[in-house]
Amino acid sequence: MTTRILTGITTTGTPHLGNYAGAIRPAILASRQPGADSFYFLADYHALIKCDDPQRIQRSRLEIAATWLAGGLDWEKVTFYRQSDIPEIPELTWLLTCVSAKGLLNRAHAYKASVDKNLENGEDPDAGVTMGLYSYPVLMAADILMFNAHKVPVGRDQIQHVEMARDIGQRFNHLFGNGKDFFVLPEVVIEESVATLPGLDGRKMSKSYDNTIPLFSSAKEMKDTISRIVTDSRAPGEAKDPDNSHLFTLYQAFSTSEQSAEFRDELLQGLGWGEAKQKLFQLLDGQLAESRERYQQLIARPADLEDILLAGAQKARKVATPFLEQLREAVGLRSFRTITQGPAEVKKKAAKAARFVSFRDDDGSFRFRLLGADGEQLLLSRSFADGKAAGAVTKQLQQGDELDVRAEGLGFSLWLEGESVAEGPQFADAIARDAAIEALRAALAPQQD
């Protein structure tokens, strides 16, 4: 089964070690796994919520795009794009806004934090709160649900937003699905050991705290920044406590288990903080030097980055545009052409609209899809050695014989003569799976004149 993975980074600053360890690195590694269909984006609409400096946003977009590629992302094998290049995203945001409960958004951490701060300062609860900040979770839900991501790698502070995307998607499915789930309900992916890295002062590494270690600064700048990491007053020779040292936490996030164990022992044996910082610098510089050089090359050629991102947007819109049409249809934003015919005639044509589409795979084998009346994929065949064999199966399926459909978890497979020849997609629950099986039977049933 193909697993769709999606994540993005807000373009409001220079990428730092926390961005890399908490989101970029695990996302790039995940994109290399077999069966991964990866969508990675620059969240530049989100940036407008917290930044009103156009030059900063533009520079950050460039830096973050270069960071992903310098970090090893293969843009030809994934879908890599800017959020603002996908016009379907804001339209879906509005569709989702119309089904999102205000009570749900009231519970969003960012909004609650702003309200609490205002109350603490004796101000109006909503002072300085924009609709962008308040409805941020809906825009994030649109990012995720637009591409029906199965897994969303995020930092721990973003778990709530993925859970809210599930709630909003489930609500839309309930209201407009009519037995069909438009949206996959996403799952959070957290790399436990490095989900949230500490900054120079021990708090979460964040641009808003001004405590970050830039990812691709020069070696000298990185060394100077590491030297400012706050440590306790224990002198060289005194045992240090690795479990309460954010310097050790940073080292652990970029080292092997053996390196980490050795560093822990050295701290317990009294390694001085100055030497410990030097070891952290050497570890990071050794890992990032090659990527740093690649990053500088990319930054120097912004036109090349633009071409890559526009190609990614075109790829993303091949998914987004037809899917949004289905959603518009579901909520009633339909073409008048669909109601110029009598109901019986419309039903008859829809029933006959299921069709087989044959294609040749990258490895030279042949496959086919069965698409329903609405263009939704009902079946995807296994690989066949030649087109004739694939055609023979599609011909047999169109004869109207009783189908041997077997439920398998939250999916199903279709069998002919004791052999599995095709399978359906994965569904959020058994109800949606069973509804899809009935739709398949209806699509392949003999048509009555």
| Known binding positions | 10-12, 18-19, 143, 155-157, 197, 204-208
Q: Rounded to whole angstroms, how far apart are CA atoms 341 and 344?
A: 8
What's the Rg (C-alpha) of the chain?
Answer: 26
Helix, strand, coil distribution of the chain in percent, nearest 5: 55, 15, 35
In angstroms, the CA 85 to CA 190 distance is: 28
| Overall residue count recorded for the chain in this entry | 449
**Residue 113 structure tokens:** 């934090």
Q: In what order do the strands lie in the sheet with 404-408?
A: 355-360, 366-371, 377-381, 419-423, 411-416, 404-408
CA distance 211 to 128: 24
Using DSSP bridges, classify how beta strands 411-416 and 419-423 pair: parallel, antiparallel or unpaired.
antiparallel
Contact 153, 187 (CB under 8 A): no
Angle between helices 54-70 and 302-331 (to 10 degrees): 100
Ramachandran angles phi, psi of 82, nearest 5°:
-95, 135
Q: Return the structure tokens found at 409.
A: 């978890």
Q: What is the three-class DSSP state of 42?
A: strand
How many Å apart are CA 154 and CA 144, to the nearest integer? 12
Nearest of 272, 202, 267, 277 to residue 240 by alpha carbon: 267
**Identity of the amino acid at 179:** G
Which amino acids are annotated as binding site for ATP, given as ranges? 10-12, 18-19, 155-157, 197, 204-208
- Structural tokens at position 378: 């009902």
Indicate the annotated binding residues for L-tryptophan: 143
Which residues, at least 6 apart from 115, have a Cβ–Cβ distance to it below 8 Å? 125, 126, 129
Residues 6 or more apart whose CB falls under 8 angstroms from that of 299 comprise 62, 63, 66
DSSP-based three-state secondary structure for 15? coil
